[in-house]
Amino acid sequence: MDTVKANGITLAYRAWGPEDAPPVLLLHCRGADGADWARIAGRLAAGPHPRRVYAPDLRGHGRSDRLGEVPGAYAYEAMRDDMLGFLAAVGAERADVVGHSLGGAVAYLLAQDAPDAVRRLVLEDVPAPLPLDPPRPPAPAPDVDPPFDWAMLRATDAQRNAPDPLWWDHMGRIAIPTLVVAGGPTSLIPQGEVAALASRIPGARLVTVGGGHLVHEARPEEFLAVVEPFLEASVSPS
């Protein structure tokens, strides 16, 4: 593991593959950390077209900074800005970005607002940012400290209940090739929301791999079978 300073905080990250290879940024789901991607990252780094793969811990997760109750500390936009700063800190001007769940929301905001930083976009079982009805109730405090900042969970729940309407309105700004991977009927995410997200992004391709919400963990081979060819198109000769 290593760390960088980005957007005023310290972010921990893992990296695989040749330093001069085309970069891929992997963004984990809420409650996990960059280690969640180890199996996928190793394959991408050593595939037919080797990649430099980065898997940071999002703020409030793993070994990255925890910011507690600071107002706005866990805004999705702050996480987006972290990733823009992270790419600059590791010298990756433009990367393919793969995001799972919360990481997918960070990824689509990055694609909306910093299109020059994203070459191709993969969204794994990411719901559309539409208000929840009924809203998600407050989660009870845990008996032991979780491996993430509990303030992050409360803050992201609030944003999931009432997302900024601009997130949805600006999906049409995403003009890069986009692959949306769905977890199928066993996912905890309503699959209609995943399909709605895909339909909102111009030209996005929706593929149902199955395996539930943790697609890349439950079905890594099937996940890679659709993701690798999609990403390879960004580095293969035309």
Its domain, for residue 136, covers: 2-232
pLDDT at residue 110 above 80?
yes
Where is 31: in which H helix or E strand? none
Whether residue 146 is predicted with pLDDT greater than 80 in this model: the reply is yes
- Residue 237 forms part of a structural domain: no
Taking 90 as the threshold, does the pLDDT of residue 135 lie above it?
yes
Domain count, the chain: 1
Structure confidence at residue 234 as a pLDDT band (50, 70, 90): low
Residue 25 clears pLDDT 50, i.e. is over it = yes
pLDDT at 236 over 80: no
What pLDDT sits at residue 48? 86
What percent of the chain is predicted at pLDDT more than 90?
A: 92
Residue 217 lies inside a defined structural domain of this protein: yes
* Of 234 and 177, the one with more pLDDT: 177
Residue 238 scores a pLDDT above 50: no
Percent of the chain with pLDDT over 70: 98
Query: Locate tokens 């984990």: which residue?
Result: 28
Q: What is the mean pLDDT of the chain?
A: 96
238 within domain boundaries: no
Helix (H) or strand (E) holding 159: helix 150-161
pLDDT at residue 237 in the model: 47
pTM: 0.97
| pLDDT value at 137 more than 80 | yes
**CATH assignment of the domain containing 48:** 3.40.50.1820
In this structure, the strands spanning 9-16 and 52-56 are antiparallel
Asked whether the predicted pLDDT for residue 56 surpasses 80, the reply is yes
Which uninterrupted H or E stretch holds 85? helix 76-89
CA 169 to chain CA centroid, Å, is 19
